[in-house]
């Protein structure tokens, strides 16, 4: 038994192909990103070592900080949006008829490509023939805004599309966690005279606090990495009003061929993602996990 199951050659044969793949395509590139950040390079020609020049330029780059601010704003809103998602899941998990169907309907946008979602929402926000402004005109709003062309509104308009895309995802996660709570605990609280709101707030939510922490990390980190939807909807415009870290990095590297500077931004994105993950986990870590 042991002889067959601890055959080193077979283990290597089974593990190495996948291992080589992730080292070559994930870990290697991640490390190299930081190194490229030290170079002046257009992606094709020769690389010139410039030390920390890209990184010092980054610190002084107002456009970069604006993008970072937008990314953090999205992260903040995404985290806030977890509250209504949790509320919806609490209602759905309360033995409601049709909750199965409703959950599936909520989930559908999450399955679609960001490109299709982006194009659809561009049409919804179309100032002349879009769904939103036609509706607003119908109910009597004169001169509704041109959502995606308005520097003050564009980020919020995009955030609504993000809400639409991810609602089902978080609702499914919360629902699965809530369904894992033993019925006996809820029954006991009922006998003690707790009303549904108290049960939700004092029993169910604390019991799934572990999952809530995970979703907070997912929401924040996911927002920092946001790219596809914004790139297709607005390309970061108008005038940088919807630029985020990832779209700014992509533009610098693949549109203006400044690979060194793009890599510096990418490295910053990696660091900030890791740091934020670490901080959120620390901040949301409770003294003792609830056991049941």
- Residue 242 tokens, joined: 């919807």
Determine if 266 is a binding residue for another protein (CB under 8 A): yes
Question: How many residues bind another protein, per CB under 8 A?
Answer: 93
Candidates 52, 91, 141, 279; binder of another protein (CB under 8 A) is: 91
Residue 30 as a binder of another protein (CB under 8 A): the answer is: yes
Among positions 92-151, residues that touch another protein (CB under 8 A) are 92, 96, 102-116, 119-121, 123-124, 128-131, 134-135, 138
**Residue 212 touches another protein, criterion: CB under 8 A:** no
Is residue 262 part of the contact set for another protein (CB under 8 A)? Answer: yes
Q: Tell me if 4 contacts another protein by CB under 8 A.
A: yes
Any contact of residue 17 with another protein (CB under 8 A)?
A: yes
58 binds another protein (CB under 8 A): no
Contact call for residue 246 and another protein (CB under 8 A): yes
Least spacing, CB of residue 226 vs another protein, in Å:
10
Specify whether the backbone of 233 is left (phi greater than 0), alpha (psi in -120 to 50) or beta: alpha
Binding-site member from 214, 237, 238, 240 for another protein (CB under 8 A): 214
* CB 178 within 8 Å of CB 90: yes
| Cβ closest to another protein, residue 152 vs residue 195 | 195
Is residue 8 involved in binding another protein (CB under 8 A)?
yes
Q: For residues 144-203, which are near another protein according to CB under 8 A?
A: 164, 167-169, 172-173, 175-177
The answer to the question of residue 52 lying near another protein (CB under 8 A) is: no
Cβ neighbours of residue 239 closer than 8 Å, sequence gap 6 or more: 151
The answer to whether residue 273 forms part of the interface with another protein (CB under 8 A) is: yes
Nearer to another protein, 108 or 283 (CB): 108
18 binds another protein (CB under 8 A): yes
For position 29 contacting another protein by CB under 8 A, the verdict is yes
Interface with another protein includes 274 (CB under 8 A)? yes
The whole-angstrom distance between residue 72's C-alpha and the CA centroid of its chain comes to 11
C-beta of 14 vs 156, nearer to another protein:
14
């Amino acid at each position: 038994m042991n002889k067959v199951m601890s055959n080193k050659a077979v283990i290597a044969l089974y593990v190495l192909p996948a291992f080589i793949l992730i080292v070559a395509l994930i870990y290697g590139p991640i490390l190299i990103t930081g190194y490229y950040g030290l170079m002046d390079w257009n992606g094709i020609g020769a690389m010139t070592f410039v030390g920390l020049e890209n990184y010092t330029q980054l610190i002084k780059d107002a456009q970069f900080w604006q993008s970072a601010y937008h990314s953090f704003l999205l992260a903040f809103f995404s985290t806030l949006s977890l509250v209504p998602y949790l509320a919806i899941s609490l209602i759905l998990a309360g033995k409601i008829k049709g909750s199965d169907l409703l959950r599936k309907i909520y989930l559908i946008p999450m399955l679609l490509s960001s490109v299709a979602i982006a194009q659809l929402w561009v049409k919804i926000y179309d100032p002349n023939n879009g769904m939103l402004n036609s509706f607003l005109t119908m109910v009597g709003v004169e001169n509704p805004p041109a959502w995606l062309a308005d520097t003050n509104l564009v980020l919020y308009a995009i955030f609504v599309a993000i809400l639409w895309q991810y609602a089902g995802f978080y609702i499914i996660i919360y629902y699965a966690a809530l369904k894992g709570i033993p019925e006996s605990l809820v029954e006991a609280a009922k006998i003690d005279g707790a009303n549904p709101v108290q049960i939700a707030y004092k029993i169910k939510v604390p019991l799934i606090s572990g999952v809530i922490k995970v979703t907070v990390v997912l929401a924040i980190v996911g927002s920092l990495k946001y790219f596809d939807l914004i790139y297709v909807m607005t390309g970061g415009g108008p005038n940088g009003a919807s630029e985020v870290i990832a779209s700014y990095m992509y533009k610098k590297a693949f549109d203006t061929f400044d690979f060194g500077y793009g890599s510096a931004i990418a490295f910053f994105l990696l660091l900030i993602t890791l740091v934020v993950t670490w901080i959120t986990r620390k901040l949301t870590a409770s003294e003792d996990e609830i056991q049941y």
